[in-house]
Amino acid sequence: MRIIAFLIGICFFTNACFAEEVSIKDEITQLRARLEVLEQKLAIQEKSMGEQKQCILDQNKKISDYESKLSQFDTKLHREAGKPIPLVEGLDISAGATMIVQGTNNVNSASDAAALKDSRADGSYSTDITIAKEFEEISGRAFLHLENGQGEGLEDNLTLYSNVNRDADDDVNVRVTEAWYEQGFFNNKAAITFGKLDPTVYFDNNEVANDETTQFLGRMFRNAATIDFPDNTAGIRLAYMPKEWIEFNYGVFDGNNDWEKITDNLVNMGQVTFKTNFFNLPGNYRFYGWNNNTYYTKWLDETKNKENAYGFGLSFDQKANDIVTLFTRYGWQNPEVYNPNITATGDLSYSLEQSWSAGFQVEGKPWGRENDVAAFAIGQIFPSDNYKEATGRLGKSEGHLEAYYKIFVNKHLSLSPDFQYIWNPFGKDIPDDTNGVFVGGMRTQVDF
């Protein structure tokens, strides 16, 4: 009986264990099924989260791109100082204003005897607006220059061969001073420019003595006193630069600037420029000649009043080192004739035979003002012997000295104290006044 009871107990125990094992297998199966479901859900969630993350990244990129475009657009609405404003693609506009105050210790105007030897201070201003359009696909360019101003400064109070304020512009009307089109050829090695031109842009130019708004104010240091340049007139200019070191320029202009019968009064000018690089220091050496048939009169035979004038000259500028640039000019013209339309203050006719000038410009790096400039120039003007013979005047050589210091205030503003001294004014031919003339002044240049 005990044996039977033991066997029955074993059976019960085995069945119980087997039932428990089956139950555990079922639970494992169920757990695996749940785990798969969870993994699927997790995968779906991860995919969804990834898509959401990518969507967020895409949105952030779009926002960043939009902000970048907005920033660029805003930049275009505001002009950077010293740079033209891009109104449309390739169209640039820039503007500037020059204000000058000058005083002298000696008014020597031949037209105002009562004011001789008096002191005086006068002012003038001028404004410039330029508009340019580049046509890069055809190597073309169009240019428009508008000007106006007011005040003659001291120029109507001084009788000189060459006066002291080249920027004086006593015309309040806004007018077109330049309007031209330029076309390049042969990979821009050659160009033709035509329209209303300023000949001083292309001939007798100079790197440090050719801009009255930022460089020397005296006329003889702006250009050679012996050249009768037509003033912003109808013309055509041809340029050719076969090599980087040489450039040829030739121009034909309406000599009397009236746009009438322009073939009757032509001014022909030619110039060759050698561009050097001695000791890695750039330089420009210009040689030019000109002919003007704007009806000059012969000094010793005034019945001959349809004569030509002609002349030649040179203009050099050379870097001496990183901060110093040297310059010199020389000019000569036919001494036998004069232009009756060119007179000194007091309606005094005269003619010049030779002029020379020389000087230098120093940048302000050594004294911690790298944008400042100090400059000095000296020169003389010699009237023609025929002029002295015809008029009986002394005709001494008139000497000029000028120094200025350009103070860089900021990229929109500069101030230039300027000092000039003229000895033998008008060749010592002003009655009762042979004293030298001292001129001191201040120039303010504003660039928009």
What is the distance between the alpha carbons of residues 65 and 442, in angstroms, rounded to a whole number?
50
pLDDT, averaged across the chain: 87
The whole-number average pLDDT for the span 230-238 is 95
Backbone φ and ψ for 279, nearest 5 degrees, come out as 55, 35
What is the distance between the alpha carbons of residues 174 and 2, in angstroms, rounded to a whole number?
136
pLDDT greater than 50 at residue 116: yes
Its CATH architecture, for the domain 87-136+145-173+211-231+255-447, is Beta Barrel (2.40)
pLDDT greater than 60 at residue 70: no
What is the distance between the alpha carbons of residues 438 and 164, in angstroms, rounded to a whole number?
10
Residue closest to 221 by CA, chosen among 279, 167, 175, 282: 167
**CB within 8 A of 72, min separation 6: which ones?**
none
What is the distance between the alpha carbons of residues 338 and 333, in angstroms, rounded to a whole number?
10
Provide the pLDDT for residue 87: 53
Provide the pLDDT for residue 77: 32
Q: Decide: helix, strand or coil at residue 201.
A: helix
Helices (H), 343-404: 385-391
Give the pLDDT band (50/70/90) at residue 10: very low
pTM: 0.79
pLDDT greater than 60 at residue 85: no
pLDDT greater than 90 at residue 16: no
Q: Decide: helix, strand or coil at residue 199.
A: helix
Tokens standing for residue 224:
């050679």
Provide the pLDDT for residue 24: 64
pLDDT greater than 90 at residue 318: yes
Give the pLDDT band (50/70/90) at residue 19: very low
Provide the pLDDT for residue 75: 32
Provide the pLDDT for residue 14: 44
* C-beta of residue 415 within 8 angstroms of C-beta of residue 395: no
* C-beta of residue 256 within 8 angstroms of C-beta of residue 218: no
pLDDT greater than 70 at residue 302: yes
Give the pLDDT band (50/70/90) at residue 23: low
pLDDT greater than 60 at residue 421: yes
Distances (CA, A) of 49 to 45, 404, 415: 6, 72, 65
Provide the pLDDT for residue 338: 96
Provide the pLDDT for residue 358: 98
| Residue 57 vs residue 416, higher pLDDT | 416
Between the two ends of the chain, the Cα-to-Cα distance in Å is: 124
pLDDT greater than 50 at residue 69: no
What is the per-residue pLDDT across 29-63, written as a single tens digit (0 to 9) for each?
776 777 677 677 666 666 666 565 565 455 555 44
Share of the chain above pLDDT 70, in %: 81
What is the per-residue pLDDT across 138-185, written as a single tens digit (0 to 9) for each?
999 999 999 999 999 999 999 999 999 999 999 999 999 999 999 999
Provide the pLDDT for residue 65: 45
| Residue 72 vs residue 386, higher pLDDT | 386
pLDDT greater than 60 at residue 67: no
What is the per-residue pLDDT across 236-271, written as a single tens digit (0 to 9) for each?
999 999 999 999 999 999 998 888 888 889 999 999
Provide the pLDDT for residue 84: 55
pLDDT greater than 70 at residue 72: no
Provide the pLDDT for residue 232: 92
